[in-house]
Amino acid sequence: MAVILPLIVVGFSRIAVAEDRRGRVWDVLKSRNFLWFFYAILFLNIAEASVKDLQMGNYYNAMAGFLLCVTIPYA
């Protein structure tokens, strides 16, 4: 649930930008600060799982997680 909600909001934000929607809610969704807040939530969630993988010895999972952290804005 902690990941699904930010992903849904980021998806709506991308729709707002791609389709150039107008309105109070769509303008908020197009805000850069709003988008980066949700990127930060996703980053923290993925980084936490990656650190756990690293501690457990799952090095490939940890590398994949850190790669996801770096590429979140470029989806």
Q: Structure pTM?
A: 0.67
Q: What pLDDT score does 2 carry?
A: 66
Q: What pLDDT score does 74 carry?
A: 80
Per-residue pLDDT for the chain (75 aa), expressed as one digit of tens each?
667 887 788 888 889 889 988 899 888 888 888 878 888 888 888 999 999 999 999 999 999 999 999 998 786
- Exposure string of 35-58, with b = 16+ CB inside 10 Å and e = fewer, is beebbebbbeebeebbeebeeeee
